[in-house]
Amino acid sequence: MTRGRPIAFSPDEAANAAMQVFWARGYESASTRDLLEAMGLSRSSLYQAFGNKEQLFLEALRRYRESLLARLERRLEAAPSAMGFLETLFCETAQEAGSERAALGCLIFNSASELGQHNGLPSQHARQSIVALTALFQQAVIRGQAEGDIAPKRNAAALASYLTMGMAGLRTLLKSGATTDQASQAVELLLDGLRR
């Protein structure tokens, strides 16, 4: 038996290119042609390397989620306080108002919104990504309560869900064209809710 031809492209670069397409267009609206053009691949190379569109999306979402969570975990560990980490994260997000990044939103929230009520692996992975982000927020809340900056008697899991909903709402506001002032005022109220 002869082996198949070796893959003559970078799977990492191709997967990252696909991630950009899914991020900009969504899962359903990203056509196979869009993906092939962005990745610079033939249909056979796509199937050889990644399988079908669904498997490619799962890989793209996994990459996005793992990269985001790793970055946030590093920032939380390095932050002088958990509340400082949360303030910086939400305020920096608000400052993205009017930018290309704001118009794209977050691939996790975009995917959960698009696929949340569907069955199948894409929707399951989108929901799992929300759970993973909420778990990171819960780490921050627990640390913030220990440091005395976040209301100690409040349920940490509930506050983590509150932060996830807050970030999802903030991303939606930014996608819909909210100004920096509007987003910043919303963030101020959101963060204030952690201290009470």
Using one digit for the tens of pLDDT, what is the confidence trace for 135-144? 999 999 999 9
How many other CB atoms sit within 10 Å of the CB of residue 40?
12
Name the more confident of 8 and 186: 186
Task: Give the pTM.
Answer: 0.90
* Helix intervals (H) in 3-151: 11-25, 32-39, 43-50, 53-78, 82-94, 100-104, 107-115, 121-147
| Model confidence at 134: pLDDT above 90 | yes
**The pLDDT of residue 11:** 84
Side-chain half-sphere exposure of 194, counting CA atoms within 13 A: 31
**The pLDDT of residue 117:** 80
CA distances from 40 to 14, 47, 64, 190 (A): 8, 13, 20, 43
> What is the rounded distance in angstroms from the CA atom of residue 90 to the CA atom of residue 86?
6
**The pLDDT of residue 4:** 47
